């Protein structure tokens, strides 16, 4: 049985570099996901700060697979859905680095469609609920 994510502290360590790609930006983001190694995380939400509402608003959902073989290493597949209609999604894969029995470190490619950079935070979710937003802010 999974513990509620409200009890799991989500300490996301974010590091990004910008790589131009057509009409969007593709940015590698390194994320530490506490609880993933013990099956407590099914995915992430990325939240963008809105100047209009002065709050963080959900903009991208990233669903994460169970561990599998990725290019000969333990990894995950992840599906990023960022448009409001949910009709455009992209599936990618990445190796994982196990930091301990519970925490993993992954580098995912975040695709930003907005023309201007924004300030983002993240949260994790599973069938029991969702964590609080990360304390770390990242400009993407």
5 within some domain: no
Total domains, the chain: 1
6 within some domain: no
pLDDT confidence band for 41 (50 / 70 / 90): very high
89 within some domain: yes
* pLDDT tens for each residue of 89-121: 889 999 999 999 999 999 999 988 788 999 999
Cβ neighbours around 19 below 10 Å, total? 10
Angle at the Cα of 20 from the Cα atoms of 15 and 24, rounded to 5 degrees: 95
134 within some domain: no
Domain of 22, in residue numbers: 11-128
Query: Contact 17/26 with Cβ under 8 angstroms?
Result: no
* pLDDT tens for each residue of 62-90: 999 999 998 899 999 999 998 766 777 88
Q: Is the pLDDT of residue 3 over 80?
A: no
CATH number for the domain spanning 73: value is 2.60.40
136 within some domain: no
Distance CA(138)–CA(70), nearest Å, equals: 27
* pLDDT tens for each residue of 47-64: 999 999 999 999 999 999
Give the mean pLDDT of the chain.
83
25 within some domain: yes
């Amino acid at each position: 049985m999974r513990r509620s994510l409200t009890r799991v502290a989500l300490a996301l360590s974010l590091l990004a570099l910008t790589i131009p790609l057509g009409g969007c930006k593709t940015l590698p983001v390194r994320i530490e996901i506490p609880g993933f190694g013990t099956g407590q995380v099914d995915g992430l939400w990325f939240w963008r700060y809105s100047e209009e509402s002065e709050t963080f608003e959900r903009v991208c959902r990233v669903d994460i697979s169970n561990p599998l073989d990725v290019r000969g290493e333990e990894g995950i597949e992840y599906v990023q859905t960022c448009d409001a209609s949910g009709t455009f999604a992209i599936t990618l894969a990445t190796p994982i680095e196990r930091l301990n029995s519970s925490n993993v470190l992954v580098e995912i490619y975040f695709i930003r469609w907005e023309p201007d950079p924004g300030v983002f935070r993240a949260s994790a979710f599973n069938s029991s609920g969702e964590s609080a937003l990360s304390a770390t802010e990242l400009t993407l």
